[in-house]
Chains A and B, each alone.
Chain A
Amino acid sequence: MRFLDIQKMALHALGKNKIQTALTMLGIVIGVSAVIAMVSLGQGAQKLVQDQVAGMGESVLQIQGGGGWNQGGGARQGNDQQTLTEGDVDAIRKEVPTIKLITPIAQAQGQFVFGNQNWSSRVEGSNEHYLDIRGLKIDQGDFFTEADVRTANRVVVLGKTVADNLFQGSDPIGQTIRIRNLPYRVIGVLRAKGQSATGQDQDDTALMPYTTVQKKMTNSAIPRINRITVSAIGPQATGAAKDQITELLRERHSIRPGQPEDFRVNNLTEVAEAAEATTRVMTLLLGSIAAVSLLVGGIGIMNIMLVSVTERTREIGIRMAIGSRGSYIRMQFLAESVILCMLGGFIGVLVGIGLSLAIASVMGWPSYVSPQAASIAFLFSAATGIFFGYYPAHKAASLDPIDALRYE
């Protein structure tokens, strides 16, 4: 018997029962599309974290001021204990050989006003190295200089979101905006970075010299430094830099051995890697849950195929009587279930891609359709066809022609 004829026969048989075929296929379509959608979303998140590691600048360390970490975590701003000083920054710059660049960060929150447009955003005060440390780029205009920092000039570099909202498409460079009733000159706009892994808009920010933030935007008497951001001389040096900074600051802050530190050094790459590992596990988890539905789809196929073998017992008997070997019957039924699954798998891939794009756009997540996941899901569905189709096909093939012919 010719191979092509088996395929034709199987297709013909599937075509005879279109609704049954479609419903059976639906199980596989749902299974495959769920796997692809879940894995794509997971991998999108993973890719985002990876991009962020790259976007954070290589080998960045963050020194966060304030104690009591175990109570509040490091992200709180404003009411952290003020422990980092300008002196710490100078000391690290001079005494830690493994660092390349360093900037103090002073943060504030402000209402930005331009004409009749209003926008509330956070302000990050830094020195002129911030762009290099964080791996940020200027889209329009310039960044502020060392001179701006020294003289605490009222200049500001806007994030894309802030610039878009205040200027509505007109050129912001050289314009004057007001923050807390003081005028600031816009000298640049940052290149857009998009969302962070936690869904934060990274472009909803503004940068200015930290000295300006300290003097004009915070009311405290002492110049305030929320964080110190440091880049190490290389990715391998981050560990050493962390240890050296910790040691230096303990000494400077007169912390006795065994006492908790009043600061914390975070290796951003490490944090990002941990986050990436988490998303990878999530991807695997989501994928395996979705794979269960593919399994259920496969069981559905087996069920329908078994029913179909019973329904077609007489037909099988006729085929055997006119000279079909058992193996041809087996191949025909197997071909039916494999075609069913592969067709379902193919539709499932398309639906899955559509689904992941749709979910991504609705939720505002990034979506990354992995060709790898798509092809694995497709092959897996074909394998499902063979696995769950074999038993019914075998059952059909082992029928006795006389009994099958007599079957009513």
Chain B
Amino acid sequence: MPEAGEPEMSASASAPVITLKTVHKIYRTGEIEVHALRGVSLDVRRGEFVAVMGPSGSGKSTMMNIIGCLDRLTSGTYILDGVDVSTMSKNDLADTRNEKIGFVFQAFNLIPRTSALANVELPMVYAGVSPSERHVRAREALQSVGLGEKEHSFPNQLSGGQQQRVALARAIASNPAIILADEPTGALDSKTAEEIMRMFQQLNRESGITIVLVTHEADVALHAKRLVRFKDGHIQEDRSILPQDDVLSLLHPLEVEL
């Protein structure tokens, strides 16, 4: 499947990588039902950089878990990179995460006491890539985030920004269809956060990687090209981020767009 897409790179730039159709998610804990998503429909095309905003409880985390194939939807359809993942088994979901999704988390989530290189290689270990190829690809990924000399460092020897860059390298090393970033700058100071966001932008611009970013900070969202705002399990606002947008204009939804 991924091979088939290669020759028509330019044509597929507008093909949707993520298609969500009237997705509902209901959590049941005993008697209590929580309707976390109430019919969300969303298309994300290849090469997009989407910022997902919304207050806590708005359903944005639930949607991230569903897009990340970590959770299954209650009803609706989810097509990821041309494959319907709505009814996949746990193992197939794991394989899909491995093959198509690169995660970047707020808490970096590197494996402790394991070198940067080994951390970046890990998804490829699960994919069954041979050790020699793994090394080459992991080194390349580390170099592309500017950490070529740190490949033997352990996470606790790296600064927060460096750890997040290792996590980014891990996410891109296996060539995923999308990168899912969940508050990637939440644990970083503003200067480092800016660096990381530049790196996301650069990856999106230069390598055409599709990025979906969850954040509640407007200045972080400003780095993206499109804004999706959640409220009460619905998409409240979905629009492009324009050059004239600033932190203030992103903080509140434009009523006109709806």
Question: B105: shortest Cβ distance to chain A, in Å?
Answer: 7
Chain B 85-100: CB-based contact to A (< 8 A → 1; otherwise 0): 0000011001101110
Query: Which B residues lie within 8 Å of A327 (CB)?
Result: 91
| Nearest-CB residue, chain A, relative to B90 | A326
Complex: how many Å from CA A323 to CA B97?
Answer: 5
CB of A318 within 8 A of CB of B70, answer no
Query: Which B residues lie within 8 Å of A19 (CB)?
Result: none
CB of A323 within 8 A of CB of B123, answer yes
Question: A328: shortest Cβ distance to chain B, in Å?
Answer: 6
Which residues of chain B from 60 to 85 have a CB within 8 Å of any chain A CB?
A: 65, 68, 70-71
Query: Which A residues lie within 8 Å of B158 (CB)?
Result: none
In-complex Cβ contact of B105 among A9, A12, A326, A405 (8 A): A405
The verdict on A392 contacting chain B, using a C-beta distance below 8 Å, is no
The verdict on A16 contacting chain B, using a C-beta distance below 8 Å, is yes
The verdict on B122 contacting chain A, using a C-beta distance below 8 Å, is yes
CB of B111 within 8 A of CB of A318, answer yes
Complex: how many Å from CA A318 to CA B113?
Answer: 14
CB of A328 within 8 A of CB of B126, answer yes
CB of A322 within 8 A of CB of B126, answer yes
Complex: how many Å from CA A324 to CA B71?
Answer: 15
Query: Which A residues lie within 8 Å of B68 (CB)?
Result: 321
Query: Which B residues lie within 8 Å of A322 (CB)?
Result: 97-98, 103, 122-123, 126, 170
Complex: how many Å from CA A5 to CA B125?
Answer: 7
| Nearest-CB residue, chain A, relative to B103 | A321
The verdict on A164 contacting chain B, using a C-beta distance below 8 Å, is no
Query: Known interface pairs A315-B111, A315-B112, A318-B111. Does A402 touch B71 (Cβ–Cβ under 8 Å)?
Result: yes
In-complex Cβ contact of B128 among A2, A9, A16, A315 (8 A): A2
Complex: how many Å from CA A308 to CA B71?
Answer: 25
Question: B153: shortest Cβ distance to chain A, in Å?
Answer: 16
Complex: how many Å from CA A286 to CA B126?
Answer: 46
The verdict on B127 contacting chain A, using a C-beta distance below 8 Å, is yes
| Nearest-CB residue, chain A, relative to B97 | A323
The verdict on A1 contacting chain B, using a C-beta distance below 8 Å, is yes
The verdict on B156 contacting chain A, using a C-beta distance below 8 Å, is no
Complex: how many Å from CA A250 to CA B125?
Answer: 87
The verdict on A320 contacting chain B, using a C-beta distance below 8 Å, is yes
The verdict on A394 contacting chain B, using a C-beta distance below 8 Å, is no
CB of B126 within 8 A of CB of A1, answer yes
Complex: how many Å from CA A328 to CA B114?
Answer: 18
In-complex Cβ contact of A326 among B94, B123, B131 (8 A): B94
Complex: how many Å from CA A73 to CA B26?
Answer: 87
The verdict on A401 contacting chain B, using a C-beta distance below 8 Å, is yes
Query: Which A residues lie within 8 Å of B125 (CB)?
Result: 1-2, 5, 9
The verdict on A319 contacting chain B, using a C-beta distance below 8 Å, is yes
CB of A325 within 8 A of CB of B114, answer no
Query: Which B residues lie within 8 Å of A320 (CB)?
Result: 94, 97
The verdict on B240 contacting chain A, using a C-beta distance below 8 Å, is no
Which residues of chain A from 318 to 370 have a CB within 8 Å of any chain B CB?
A: 318-328
The verdict on B109 contacting chain A, using a C-beta distance below 8 Å, is yes
Question: B67: shortest Cβ distance to chain A, in Å?
Answer: 13
In-complex Cβ contact of B91 among A9, A12, A16, A326 (8 A): A326
Complex: how many Å from CA A317 to CA B111?
Answer: 10
CB of A324 within 8 A of CB of B111, answer no
| Nearest-CB residue, chain B, relative to A318 | B109
| Nearest-CB residue, chain A, relative to B122 | A322
Complex: how many Å from CA A380 to CA B91?
Answer: 32
Question: B184: shortest Cβ distance to chain A, in Å?
Answer: 14
CB of B99 within 8 A of CB of A323, answer yes
Task: List 12 additional contacts besides A324-B94, A405-B70; criterion CB under 8 Å.
Answer: A16-B112, A321-B68, A321-B103, A321-B109, A322-B103, A323-B98, A323-B123, A325-B95, A328-B126, A402-B65, A402-B71, A405-B105
Q: Which residues of A contact B (CB under 8 A)?
A: 1-2, 5, 9, 12, 16, 314-315, 317-328, 401-402, 405
8 closest A-B pairs by beta carbon, nearest first, are A323-B98, A325-B94, A322-B123, A323-B97, A318-B109, A323-B126, A16-B113, A324-B126
What are 10 of the A-B contact pairs (CB < 8 Å)? A2-B128, A5-B125, A12-B118, A16-B112, A319-B122, A319-B126, A322-B170, A323-B127, A326-B94, A402-B71
